[in-house]
Chain A
């Protein structure tokens, strides 16, 4: 019985998976779940007639799945947040190099892989957010200063399982070396108001509640919160100010969300077309308007809210280095006892 059934089943599923290849769609593995993306996917289909299929999931699991699937993977594009992750995907050999003039023009050099395996799509700044009623911006200066004892029991920041924190530490590692990165992580862990948990948004809430005075978080969450239908979130956002650290030095730590064409892609042409579409001026405005992320040309942003936070200088570190330093950063967090 088994002898007959199994090959037939296999054939059946092959037919199903071939389906998408024949009709010229693109398949995306995406970590991002924002309305901005839905809007842009729809627009792309309207403009080109190419259908967009999406599997949403946590990026790490999607990367793992791509590795397992190898050449047979149906995915054309890996779309995720954080350069550290994109670089990891590249190292695992699941992306391919793309030669596109448009992409090279639209994406600044530090925001894409030097070998063009992945490209940034939006920019996010990881800043210090402070309670306006208790903290003066003049009290703040750099990420490094957060290790000082005056912040004992006053800092809110999420778990080191989170890639944003891993990338932040990776940038500090690149700037200051591993010894001082370790002592920084140790001191900041010691200065936390509570053991790390929750999302970036939760850190904002902790500061608003008075439990902590400052938080390390990405700016766009503040945008999301101040435009939230939830009034309590709006009030949280009102109480908080944005501070861009290290302005006298290397600049604030930035990161991208980005995408790459998979090594196994069967719809390479359409996939490239899709990336070019996402980096176009119009799409960039949608990202900024719907999700409060900075466009790739950070200084050219037109969003009122984004402008209200002010202009800033950002770290010119090649973002692929965040990926190179990622494992070391995780290990430093382990050593520092930052859960």
Chain B
């Protein structure tokens, strides 16, 4: 019962948004006639270009690191995941002047061709640069899942192909790549979700995506109905992607990595090929990590010591406290939910669970809207205020991040505990005993992984925290955003760096534990 209740609670915001699909709202005709196509096309272009770039970089790096041997390979193996520590909004502002670098070129185009061609050139550059910035911090999703696939699934086949005398390039195109397809798609779907979720970067670079449109109709036109309807469009787009992902993935699932050693002989790259390989791994590492970090460090170093007052340490404490407590809470709930569905073999709970974990696929903006809808109902009917308390913020995190806890725990449960639980039930042990005595010890590792994953996500989270936080309450993420919107670029580098630094150890730990978060 409890599980079902939680599932419904979490599912409600999503359902409320989805129900708006057929609602006709005040400004909908206007939106449809003027800006809807712009939103659709700019979102599609951005998503597509980011996806293509991420696939190219992610797959190439994964192939080099997993299937080849060259100097520095081991180093790249783990450093290539570091860009994941940088949220897109921080990446965008560490590259805030990247587009301005093309100014001389634009002026040259104007004086040698025409103002029109300058404007045209600018439009292309905007999308190119934005998707490049997004890719530089999102490609590791593809890299991680593809690398895992190259390591785990391809071994025997690749070896076989090799003994049959195929060239490495042939093996890559004909064997390894097709086999890695589900993994690539899985990584890509995360890249796409994160791109759709982004508000900071697209606002920075001026791309009118759906998320921008949602905020514009909600806040700019004061038309929550149209905003919800746009959200529902976005939601169906997400459903569509999830469907594609499921379709391509088929029955294949990723498992936790037990052994990272490679069981077959890698291609030894020599001479100019090894230099090329190093260059190819170094480039995304520089773009996604070294350059942003160096710039942030440079800005931070010019900030005077008086910045580090008591309030700043309070902010650090807030961030760590909030992320720790919420992640523990979310993982506890996830464990209970998964356990009940495993122990009681309940179909309803299983289906409800499936819906509840959709939260992660939804852009934070959509979750916030759904949440405000509910908060409004509760406030009117029960007179109790949900906004602006830590409880409500934690609940919003729960809706958004439950899925993140789901994957590792669920796959752990399926592998290790399903049969035990059924046996235990037949033997007449109570649910509580089964859970504490039998499951928890076995699931320890999965649970740690889940806690860390959510901790990292909440630590970086911006839009939900921004809207729902209590009085006088700042986290490192909101402080970064606030300082940045006051154009205090140098000061905002400090909380941004802290976010990155704190998330590096968990990310490295996770890399060792897990090949994929799906």
Residues of A within 8 A of B385 (CB): 17, 69, 72-73
Our pick among B2, B122, B387 for the contact of A65 (Cβ within 8 Å) is B387
Asked whether A197 and B35 contact (CB < 8 A) given A72-B383, A74-B471, A88-B222, the answer is no
Q: Does A166 contact B (CB under 8 A)?
A: yes
* B375 to A, closest residue via Cβ: A68
Our pick among A58, A63, A198 for the contact of B206 (Cβ within 8 Å) is A198
A60 B219 Cβ-Cβ under 8 A = yes
A33 B486 Cβ-Cβ under 8 A = yes
Question: How many positions in chain B have a CB within 8 Å of any CB in the partner chain?
Answer: 56
A13 B123 Cβ-Cβ under 8 A = no
Q: Does A97 contact B (CB under 8 A)?
A: no
Mark out the residues of chain B between 22 and 37 whose CB falls within 8 Å of any chain A CB in the assembled complex.
27, 30-31, 34-35
* A66 to B, closest residue via Cβ: B387
Cα–Cα, bound, A39→B118 (Å): 45
Would you give the shortest CB distance from A109 to chain B, in whole angstroms?
Answer: 26
Our pick among B106, B203, B473 for the contact of A211 (Cβ within 8 Å) is B106
Residues of A within 8 A of B35 (CB): 334
Our pick among B126, B220, B471 for the contact of A60 (Cβ within 8 Å) is B220
Place the interface of chain A in its size category: 35 or more
Would you give the shortest CB distance from B109 to chain A, in whole angstroms?
Answer: 10
* B208 to A, closest residue via Cβ: A339
Cα–Cα, bound, A334→B226 (Å): 14
Q: Does A194 contact B (CB under 8 A)?
A: yes
Q: Does A330 contact B (CB under 8 A)?
A: yes
A334 B30 Cβ-Cβ under 8 A = yes
B384 A61 Cβ-Cβ under 8 A = no
Residues of A within 8 A of B487 (CB): 199, 201, 224
Mark out the residues of chain B between 376 and 403 whose CB falls within 8 Å of any chain A CB in the assembled complex.
376, 379-380, 383-385, 387-389, 391
Cα–Cα, bound, A327→B387 (Å): 27
A197 B126 Cβ-Cβ under 8 A = yes
B30 A339 Cβ-Cβ under 8 A = no
A55 B469 Cβ-Cβ under 8 A = yes
Residues of A within 8 A of B31 (CB): 334
Cα–Cα, bound, A189→B466 (Å): 32
- The digit string for A150-177, where 1 denotes a CB below 8 A from any CB of B, is 0011100001010100100000000000
Residues of A within 8 A of B221 (CB): 327, 330-331
B115 A161 Cβ-Cβ under 8 A = no
Mark out the residues of chain B between 254 and 309 whose CB falls within 8 Å of any chain A CB in the assembled complex.
none
B2 A1 Cβ-Cβ under 8 A = yes
B388 A210 Cβ-Cβ under 8 A = no
B206 A159 Cβ-Cβ under 8 A = yes
Our pick among A55, A327, A337 for the contact of B471 (Cβ within 8 Å) is A55
Mark out the residues of chain A between 4 and 61 whose CB falls within 8 Å of any chain B CB in the assembled complex.
9-10, 13, 16-17, 20, 27, 33-34, 53-58, 60-61
Q: Does B41 contact A (CB under 8 A)?
A: no
Mark out the residues of chain B between 237 and 257 whose CB falls within 8 Å of any chain A CB in the assembled complex.
none
B220 A166 Cβ-Cβ under 8 A = yes
Q: Quick one: which of B110, B219, B467 has the most chain A CB within 10 A?
A: B219
Cα–Cα, bound, A154→B375 (Å): 47
Our pick among B34, B103, B383 for the contact of A334 (Cβ within 8 Å) is B34
Cα–Cα, bound, A209→B107 (Å): 9
Would you give the shortest CB distance from A115 to chain B, in whole angstroms?
Answer: 19
* A194 to B, closest residue via Cβ: B122
Residues of A within 8 A of B103 (CB): 206, 209-211
Cα–Cα, bound, A193→B109 (Å): 12
Q: Write 8 A-B pairs (CB below 8 A) sorted by A numbering.
A: A10-B384, A16-B389, A20-B471, A63-B219, A153-B115, A153-B116, A197-B126, A198-B204
